[in-house]
Amino acid sequence: MILTDGAWGTQLQARGLDFGDCPDEWNLTHPDEVAAVAASYVDAGSEIILTNTFRASRIPLAGYGLADKVTAINKMGVALSKRGAAGRAKVFASIGPSGKMLASGEVSAEGLRESFTEQAGALAEAGADGLVVETMSDPDEACIAVAAAKATGLLVVGCMVYDTGRGKDRTMMGTTPEQSVTFRDTYLRLLPLLHFTYSAINPVAVKSLMTAVGLPAGDLRRPLSGLKPDHLAKGIAIIQALGLDRRYGWRLAGGALPLAAE
């Protein structure tokens, strides 16, 4: 089992990031604090860490008046994670959702494509080992982002968030694991190392995801929970109890808020 990292936003808040401020801008204004978060995870045993670039594509940065700093923020994000890793861990750069609704017309598919292509290019140029399109709830947006990321030639992981509904097995948009797989197969043509699930840890939901995500054993998956600090250990226990690590190639475990290096 390969251990990845935990929350980034809450760790920056613990270091002084104010509510409402842009976490990604800290790559430029507080680089030592960002590098310290990366180092804390590697010190704790993480073998793959992400970057502080979750909302660093042009569309969300524009909301903070930072659209002209896309390249600088993303390149520095990779540099700071690499500094913190100091050669001890791989750096997979984070690409998060735009925060705009494609279905309602808040943003166009072409606008998303341009925004994600720009971000992915900057991250790749900075030397990221891979790209993680993460915490997506809209499969259309996820497919656009993953296609843009794949164009860099780097290893790409796609992550849908299944944290809604009675069984915590749907995205915020109501997308099921089965629907996500249909989108993957239809639009992404079984790209390698793609589907990477992020779900509340729930044995029923995990079994549903396992059934839906019938990928080759070489693909990368991560059942993950960020509800309580001890959920990472519980998640790993569920993976092992269901035999997902042995039978289906589930090899990574990590967390989101409020999981910290401790």
Domains in the chain, please, with CATH? 2-253 (3.20.20.330)
Q: Over 50: is that where the pLDDT of 46 sits? A: yes
58: three-class secondary structure by DSSP: helix
Q: Over 90: is that where the pLDDT of 92 sits? A: yes
- Peptide bond just before 258 cis, omega within 30 deg: yes
The 10s digit of each residue's pLDDT in 177-186 is: 777 766 666 5
pTM more than 0.85: no
Q: Over 70: is that where the pLDDT of 28 sits? A: yes
Q: Over 90: is that where the pLDDT of 167 sits? A: no
Neighbouring CB atoms inside 10 A of 78's CB total 25
DSSP H helices, the chain, are: 9-14, 26-29, 31-43, 58-62, 70-85, 109-125, 139-150, 177-187, 203-212, 231-241, 244-247
Q: Over 70: is that where the pLDDT of 233 sits? A: no
